[in-house]
Structure formats: C-alpha cells, structure tokens
Amino acid sequence: MSTYAQKKGFGATLWDFLTTVDHKKIAILYLIAGGFFFVVGGLEAMFIRIQLAVPNNDFVSAGLYNEIMTMHGTTMIFLAAMPLVFAFMNAVMPLQIGARDVAFPFVNALGFWLFFFGGVFLNLSWFLGGAPDAGWTSYASLAIASKGHGVDFYVLGLQISGIGTLIGGINFLVTIINMRAPGMTYMRMPLFTWSTFVTSALILFAFPPLTVGLVLMMFDRLFGANFFEVTMGGNTVIWEHLFWIFGHPEVYILILPAFGIFSETFAIFSRKRLFGYSSMVFALVLIGFLGFMVWAHHMFTTGLGPVANAIFAVATMAIGVPTGIKIFNWLFTMWGGSVKFTTPMLYAVSFIPSFVAGGVTGVMLASAAADYQYHDTYFVVAHFHYVIVGGVVLAILAGTHLYWPKMFGTMLNETMGKITFTLFLIGFHLTFFIQHFLGLWGMPRRVFTYLPGQGFETANMVSTVGAFFMAVGVIVLLINIIVTSARNVRVGNDPWGDGRTLEWAIPSPPPFYNFKQLPLVRGLDAYWLEKMEGKMAMTPAEPIGDIHMPNASFLPFTIALGLFIAAFGAMYHVDHKPWALPVMVIGLLVTFASMFLRSVKDDHGFHIHKEDLIEKTDKGVEA
C-alpha cells in the first residue's frame, strides 16, 4: 500500500489540502468551494423567485432584493460556474495530455486560494453592513451612488479572485503548450483539452480589462478619484466598455468548457469518434476570437450610434456560424452510433435543444433595432439563463457524473442521477421558458415586485414552481453524493467502459504522479485506439525512471490571506477608522513577505525513486 492512500486523521488531511500543489486535490478544492457557492447562489435565486411569485409581495424589501439579485448573478458567474469549470479542467486536462502535473503547481494552488478568499470576502458583505446592490454588471452610474460598503466588497473581492483566475489561465496555457506526452500533437488533443486551451487564452486577454475597471471604481469609491464622477470630468460609459470587453468573453469562458465536456460525453456514449474533429477545433478557436469583437451588443441602447451598433450586430450574428457547426457535429456524432443513455449523456442530449433555444434568442437580441424593445426586460433574463443554465450548468452536472469516478474512485448512483436530471430539466424549462413571454409582455428585469392586473401573475407563479423543481433536483444530487461516498464502491480505470482518452487508461483516482511511465500517443482518442487493437493499456514512451515532483507549500494560502486582510483595511479606511491603515499595511506585508520567502527559499521538489515504482508494480497495487 502506498503511503498517500493510508488513512489519515482529520487534522493531517486538512493540512494536506491547505498545502497541496497536486492538480487533482486542487480540483477537489475547486469542486467543494464552487459547489458551496453554487448552493449559496441557488438559495439567492430561490429568494428571488419566492419574492416574485405573487404581485405586491413583501417577502423581501426592495433594497434587500437588489442585494440578493446582485449577489445571485455575481456568485453564480464568478464563484460557482467558473470554479466548477476550473475543477474539471484541473482534474482532467493534465491527465488527458499525459502530464504528471500542471506547469506551475505552486501557482495553481495560489490561484485557488485567491479565488477562495475573494469569494469569502465578497460573501462576508452579508454580515458586515449589506451586500453589493448595483447588479452583477455594477454600472458606474449606480455603483458610485451606492451607499455603504456593498459595492466595495464587490470591487475588492472580485479583484482578489480575478488575479486567481488569471494566473490559473496562464498555468493551463503553459501546461498544454509544453507538457503534452510524446505523440500528443495539437490535433490529437481531446476536445475538452482544446476548450481548456481556448478558454485560458480568453481568460488571459479578458481579465485585465475587468481588473482595470475594478481598480478605477476602487479608486473612485475609496481613494477620491473621479473616473466616473461626471461633474469632475468623468465618464460612466468607460465602465460599461471595460466591463463588457471583459464580460462578453467571460460568457465564452464559461460556455467553451461546457462544449468540451459535452464533446467528450457525446463521443464516449455514442461509442464513436467525434464527428468533424478538426472543424470542432476550428469552431472553438473562431468562437474565442469573435468573442472579443462583440462586447458593444450589450450597449446598443447606450447611444454609440447606428454605425457602431450595425458593426457589433453583424459580428454577433457571425458567432452563430461556428456554434451551428458544433451543434451539427454533435448530432452527427450520435448518428449511427450505439448510443447509451447514461446520466451524462441525458444531460448532453437535452443540452442541444435547450442551448439552441438560447442561441435563437441571442440572434434576436443581436438585431440592434429589435434590441431596443427587448433591452432590460425579462426576455434578456430568459435568454442568458437559457445559455448559462441550459449550457454551462447542464455541462457541470454532466461533468460531475462523468468525472466523479475519475476524481473520487467511485460512481455516483445512476438512478438518482436520472431523477436529478429529470427534475432539473423540467424545472429549468418551467422557470425560464415563460420568462421570454414575460419580457415580451413588458415586464422589466431587476424589479422587486409588480402590480396585479398586468397579466404577469400566472407566468411568474409558473416560473417560481419551476425553480422549486430545480432546487429539489440539486438536493437529490447532494443526497446522491453523500450516499455514494458512504457506500464507496471502488471502481477500476475505465468505469464507463467506453473511455476514449488518456485519463481512462490510469487508475481512479490516479496515483499522485499520474503516469508511472509517460504514455505514447499514436492518434486521436489514444486509449480507444489501443483498446481497439486488443491492448489493455497504453504503450509506454519511456522506461521506468525517477519522477520529479513539486513540494507541498503553505505559502499560496498566506499570500492570498494577506490580500484578504489588506482588502478590509482598504475598505474601512474611508470611514476614518484608526485601525484601517495598519490592517492594510499588515495584510500587504503578509503577502509580500510570503512572496519574498518563496523567492529566497529554493524549492527543487523531490524525486520518487525508480525502485519504489517498480516495487509497487510487483505487488500489483498500481497498474
């Protein structure tokens, strides 16, 4: 038995996770933290739907509604969807390219802790005088006027977690560029790895404008600057531009990994090579590129003029073309395949009509002239929930079932998985389909209540009932996770039986060094290729040798903790609290001292010796 699999006490396990630099454990951390924030954001969604169930409701007050609505959007995008997507990227991508870890394991851990502390900071606003209330887009005209510290929590929390995301993106890019196994050419990479690659490039170029926007707003609110103060020469439209130059690529940052998960799912459970592989890759790259050309379609009613609106309308519609290519390729992958309707496959199949519906309303919204009617109505709310829930959330649920055995070594219960799927899908369409019509009938978004007799009652009640279906679906999933973990039936390398890519060629969960010998990749779907030729395992590309591994470190935690502390100082310094400035200085000192320590203390990692690896094989512990 290898040492790392032995039973450890709670304290030792906790310390292990606080200091880990192993991509598989960081994936579990992202999954737990992202799952927690998903539940928090979900509760906020339920409060929204309860408040809107009947007209003139007073379940929450108008001000509290603004906070709940803002935090629902912010939490779901930054603290739930992105980390959950990062969980799968961390868990699967290095395995898919045959790497032993990511390029910068230390930075990987740092990225997680920055995201985590940023998220905790943002959510502490509930207990410290009120949450942000200017919407998840936090338009400057509203945000500058917002009283209290809510928007400060938004600005500082997102800056901290944004740095984490940025360095995570760079890490994935370098990993894919430099650390592919022998024979793993770019055009043999699995689609999920390709989507991680394109997504990471989008993160790299999209997050800096957000950082700048947040810095400007922080300067305005906390340090007396005048970027958005019109009487001092400022201009609030700058925020709109910076936010959407980030914000539009952000939605592709979320949806492209979803496309990746579904591409894997369709191929595995149709037991057939993905149709049109190279056009799938091309479409991913093209969507990523066009994603930067369309930000002003969020600003059609800002008044940029007909020329700008026309250009951005056309560019937006152009994105429909590569997306359409992908939809047809998925359909053709199933065509003639021997399709197995497992839980992930059910999500994948239902994703197609759901997401296409969101795409159709997207093209409707892209028509600038028509957008003047849809803008700021529930039609927009319906549209983006169709692409984000119907795309990203379905993919996250599919990925949870698909990769659970690879991450934890045990299968989620299929029956309960299908119950979750049925409840969630019905609930999703019940909640959001009717909202298209609410929007077209004239119900504005972001209102905390509405009057009776305007024809909104029935539709809102239907929508609320649907939300409860989704909530019950998620509860069944949580029960499934608990039951599965308690039973803990161990599974082998390829629990679905039809795995195609390298991650299914190694044990579940993989040993901490992933591959004893780096595999030789002979084509697309490398593992499937070997299986079709009757081989049980990958052909090794190297003799058994010493494996170099990075050391665990507590410094990522302290670097992130320092910024978390400093953010409190920065925020309360406007209230002239005497302790604020020292707290800010202490926080920054913790961060910089940790960075300095990391710089001056050499960290060469350690080697797993050849003899230990061979010994394990002889005892038959590791395959």
Cis status of the peptide bond prior to 55, with omega within 30 of 0 = no
Does residue 115 interact with other proteins by CB under 8 A?
A: no
Q: Which of 229, 457, 498, 622 binds other proteins (CB under 8 A)?
A: 229
- Closer of 579 and 606 to other proteins (Cβ): 606
**Left, alpha or beta for 442 (phi > 0: left; psi -120 to 50: alpha)?**
left
Give the binding range for other proteins (CB under 8 A) out of 81-89, 142-150, 229-237, 386-394. Answer: 229-237
231 binds other proteins per the rule CB under 8 A: yes
Distance, in Å, from the CA atom of 222 to the CA atom of 212, rounded to the nearest integer, reads: 15
C-beta of residue 249 within 8 angstroms of C-beta of residue 205: yes
Two structure tokens written together for 55: 């007209």
User: What is the secondary structure of 38-50 as a DSSP string?
Assistant: HHHHHHHHHHHHH
CB nearer to other proteins: give 41 or 209: 209
CB of 550 to other proteins, least distance (A): 10
Residue selected from 92, 191, 242, 313 as contacting other proteins according to rule CB under 8 A? 242
Shorter beta-carbon distance to other proteins: residue 376 or 546: 546
- Is 479 a residue that touches other proteins (CB under 8 A)? no
Q: Are 387 and 355 in contact (CB under 8 A)?
A: yes
Specify whether the CB–CB gap between 219 and 227 falls below 8 A: yes
207 contributes a contact to other proteins by CB under 8 A: yes
Residue 303 within binding range of other proteins, rule CB under 8 A: no
Which residue among 46, 54, 170, 308 contacts other proteins (CB under 8 A)?
170
CB under 8 A, 24+ apart: contacts of 592-595: 592/562, 593/562, 594/555, 594/558, 594/559, 594/562, 595/559
Q: Restricting to residues 130-169, which ones interact with other proteins according to CB under 8 A?
A: 166
Q: Assess 374 for contact with other proteins (CB under 8 A).
A: no
Does 209 participate in binding other proteins (rule CB under 8 A)?
yes
CA nearest to 97, candidates 611, 572, 506, 536: 506
* List of residues 6+ apart from 104 with CB closer than 8 A: 167, 171, 174
Contact pick of 219, 437, 441, 513 for other proteins (by CB under 8 A): 219
The residue written with tokens 């390829």 in the block is 494
The answer to whether residues 553 and 547 touch, using CB atoms and an 8 Å cutoff, is no
- Cross-strand pairs, 299: none
> Quick one: 7 or 604, whose CB is closer to other proteins?
604
Instruction: Give the DSSP letter string of 567-604.
Output: HHHHHHGGGT-TTHHHHHHHHHHHHHHHHHHHHHS---
Q: Which is nearer to other proteins, 108 or 146 (CB)?
A: 108
Collapsing DSSP to helix, strand or coil, 515 comes out as: coil
Residue 622's identity, in one-letter code, is E
From 57-65, 230-238, 344-352, 463-471, span contacting other proteins (CB under 8 A): 230-238
Confirm or reject binding of residue 113 to other proteins (CB under 8 A): no
- Is residue 225 a contact residue for other proteins (CB under 8 A)? yes
- What is the C-alpha separation between 156 and 162, in angstroms, rounded? 10
Tell whether residue 604 is a contact of other proteins (CB under 8 A): yes
Stretch that binds other proteins, among 173-181, 189-197, 262-270, 552-560 (CB under 8 A): 173-181
- Which CB, 104 or 192, lies closer to other proteins? 104
Distance CA 516, CA 509 (A): 14
Task: Please state the closest distance from residue 594 (CB atom) to other proteins, in A.
Answer: 13
Nearest to 91 by CA among 305, 487, 318, 404: 404
Q: Is residue 234 involved in binding other proteins (CB under 8 A)?
A: yes
Q: Please report where in the chains the tokens 């090794």 appear, as a residue.
A: 540
Of the candidate residues 19, 57, 226, 367, the single one contacting other proteins (CB under 8 A): 226
Q: Is 171 in the site for other proteins (CB under 8 A)?
A: yes
Residue 201 Cβ vs other proteins, minimum distance, rounded to whole Å: 9
What are the tokens at 207?
């997050």
Residue 245 interacts with other proteins (CB under 8 A): yes or no: yes
Contact status: 499 vs other proteins (CB under 8 A): no
CB of 514 to other proteins, least distance (A): 15
Our CB check for other proteins shows the closer of 227 and 572 to be: 227
**Stretch of 132-140, 222-230, 383-391, 436-444 contacting other proteins, by CB under 8 A:** 222-230
Residues, the chain:
623
CA neighbor of 86 nearest in space, from 350, 358, 392, 351 = 392
Burial class (CB in 10 A: 0-12, 13-18, 19+), 599: exposed
Asked if 208 interacts with other proteins (CB under 8 A), we say yes
Q: Which of 488, 536, 600, 619 binds other proteins (CB under 8 A)?
A: 600
By CB under 8 A, residue 216 contacts other proteins = yes
Q: Which window, 46-54, 226-234, 375-383, 582-590, contacts other proteins (CB under 8 A)?
A: 226-234
Question: Residue 570 burial by CB count (10 A; 0-12/13-18/19+): exposed, middle or buried?
Answer: buried
Q: How many CB atoms lie within 10 A of CB 574?
A: 14
DSSP label at 547? E
* Site for other proteins contains 174 (CB under 8 A): yes
- The smaller minimum CB distance to other proteins, of residues 203 and 382, is found at 203
Helix, strand, or coil here: 606? strand
**Distance, CA of 573 to CA of 421 (rounded, Å):** 48
By CB under 8 A, residue 602 contacts other proteins: yes
Site for other proteins in 49-108 (CB under 8 A): 103-104
Give the count of residues interacting with other proteins (CB under 8 A): 42
Tokens for 479? 């029960």
Our CB check for other proteins shows the closer of 602 and 618 to be 602
Kindly tell me which residue out of 212, 529, 549, 588 binds other proteins, with binding defined by CB under 8 A.
Answer: 212
Nearer Cβ to other proteins (209/509): 209
Compute the distance between CA of residue 275 and CA of residue 178 in angstroms, rounded to an integer: 27
517 binds other proteins (CB under 8 A): no
32 contact partners, CB below 8 Å, separation of at least 6: none
In the complex, what is the shortest distance from the CB of residue 574 to other proteins, in angstroms, rounded to a whole number?
13
Alpha helix locations (H) across 335-393?
Answer: 343-366, 368-374, 378-387
Shortest distance in whole angstroms from residue 156 CB to other proteins? 17
Least Cβ distance, residue 103 to other proteins (angstroms): 4
Q: How far is the CB of 122 from other proteins (least distance, A)?
A: 22
Q: With respect to other proteins, which residue has the nearer C-beta, 225 or 581?
A: 225
**Is residue 204 near other proteins by the rule CB under 8 A?**
yes
Contacts with other proteins, residue ranges (CB under 8 A)? 103-104, 166, 170-171, 173-174, 177-179, 204-205, 207-209, 211-213, 215-216, 219-220, 223-227, 229, 231-235, 238, 241-242, 245, 596, 599-600, 602, 604
